[in-house]
A = this chain, B = another copy of it.
Amino acid sequence: MKGATLKDVAREALVSVASVSRVINGLDNVTDDVRSRVLSAASKLKYIPHGGARSLATSRNNTIGVLLPDIYGEFFSEIIRGIDQSARECGLHIMVSGSHGDLNETVGAIRSMAGRVDGMLVMLPFASPNSLREILPNDFPIVAISSQLNDDNGGVISVDNCGGALKAVRHLYDVGCKRIAHISGPQSNFEANERENGFLKGLETCFIGQEPLVFEGDFTEEAGRAAIDEFFKNGTPPDGIFAANDMMAVGALTRLQEIGIKVPDDVAIIGFDDIPITRFTSPTISTIRVGIFEVGKRGLNYLYSMLEDKEFQSTDKRSGIVFLPELIIRASTQKVRKV
């Protein structure tokens, strides 16, 4: 029992395929009589329009592709939630693809996805989205989230990671820290670099004369623990730590407590991302918050504008959208003022 087609419904309802199509698509130029005959025939046959045939005829897929680096945790679900909500409002489907080990795999995923979507929302922290242009037609709509895209036909949604990091450092300064350290993300990661730049900039401004003290982590809890061991092995230990993400801040916190160092009194800690865990550790962890849900939502809206409004392509596109993260103060930086 193959699925019913337009033609089957037409036969059942004793009308032409054109009329069925009109009813199904909700056009108003049909008699009530025809409409009801078609509708009942359709539901009797459990008719489902063939999406492929539709997009062939209309050259519209009503689907956008979402390419994400790694499908992990809160961050991922929040961004998808934003995208999904916005997509529903725009009447679009979303096709997601995550966790691509290497570039080849990513390229493959893009290739096979491109033919089924009207545009793509991509987040590629390790590779430049410009490489997409070597595969995709120049006018294929792309919106990049948090990454560079030097491109005349794509938009960018970015988060001011550097500015956020700066806020973190300035906060450590404000609560009285004298010597601070940074646990960075991997060098290959674009956002990690920006956060490190923010740290360095803040150091120059507020902690004049201090040598940069940076441990390169990889965004895992374990890296946070390792950083502490490193910082306290030799040299003067810091009294304030800015971790490039919350998981590393959590790792640092637990390791500090294990070796008997008090947070925040001996060392203040601040993370980045505002994942839920930060509210449940003790002490709770200060952090820099980015409205991930909003980022996803705006990203999809942006792409939608590009799709709908052909003019749009040549006007606003260059400017893009920038999100400024916000400082969330919790217990891990509430040290007794020592100044």
Q: CB of A3 within 8 A of chain B?
A: yes
CB distance from A46 to the nearest CB of B (A): 5
Tell whether A137 pairs with B282 under 8 Å between CB atoms, given A61-B51, A61-B52, A93-B113: no
Q: Is A49 an interface residue (CB 8 A)?
A: yes
Contacting pair B46 A52 (CB below 8 A): no
Is A14 part of the binding interface, using a Cβ–Cβ cutoff of 8 Å?
no
What per-residue 1/0 map shows which CB atoms of A125-146 lie under 8 Å from chain B?
Answer: 0000000000111111000000
Interface of A is mostly: mixed
Does any Cβ of B come within 8 Å of A238's Cβ? no
Give Cα A84–Cα B71 distance, bound, in whole angstroms: 9
Stretch at the interface among A75-83, A156-164, A201-209, A225-233: A75-83
A336 at the interface (CB under 8 A from B): no
Instruction: Report A105 CB to chain B, min CB distance, Å.
Output: 8
Number of copies: 2
List residues of chain B with CB within 8 A of the CB of A51.
Answer: 52, 55, 61, 115-116
Chain B positions within 8 Å of A111 at CB level: 48
For residue A90, CB closer than 8 A to chain B, the reply is no
The reply to whether A84 and B56 contact each other, CB–CB distance below 8 Å, is no
Most B C-beta atoms less than 10 A away, residue of A94, A98, A139, A282: A98
| Contact pick for A94, options B96, B99, B114, B138, CB 8 Å | B96
- Scan A87-120; emit 1 where CB is below 8 A from any B CB, else 0: 0100001111111000000000101111110000
A276 and B88 CA atoms in complex are apart in Å by 30
**A81 in complex: contacting residue of B4, B50, B71, CB < 8 Å:** B71
Q: Does A26 touch B at the CB level, under 8 Å? A: no
- Shortest CB–CB separation between residue A65 and chain B, in angstroms? 9
Q: Inside 8 A of A115's CB, which chain B residues have their CB?
A: 48-51, 54
Nearest-neighbor residue (CB-CB) of A135 within chain B: B46
Residues of A within 8 A of B (CB-CB), count: 53
The answer to whether A63 and B97 touch across the interface, beta carbons within 8 angstroms, is no
Check: A85 CB closer than 8 A to any chain B CB.
yes
1/0 contact trace for A36-72 toward B, CB 8 Å?
A: 0000000000101111111110000111000000011
A71 touches B77 (CB 8 A): yes
Query: Is A314 interfacial (CB 8 A cutoff)?
Result: no
Contact partners of A135 in chain B: CB under 8 A: 46
Contact partner, A84, options B81, B96, B114, B281, Cβ 8 Å: B96
A88 to B102, CA, bound (A): 14
Query: What is the bound-complex CA distance between A66 and B116, given in angstroms?
Result: 17
Contact A94:B95 (CB < 8 A) given known A250-B280, A280-B277:
yes
Contact among B74, B93, B96, B98 with A116 in the assembled complex (CB-CB below 8 Å) = B93
Q: How far is the CA of A96 from the CA of B83 in the complex (A)?
A: 11
Given contacts A46-B137, A115-B50, A280-B280, contact A84 B63 (CB under 8 A): no
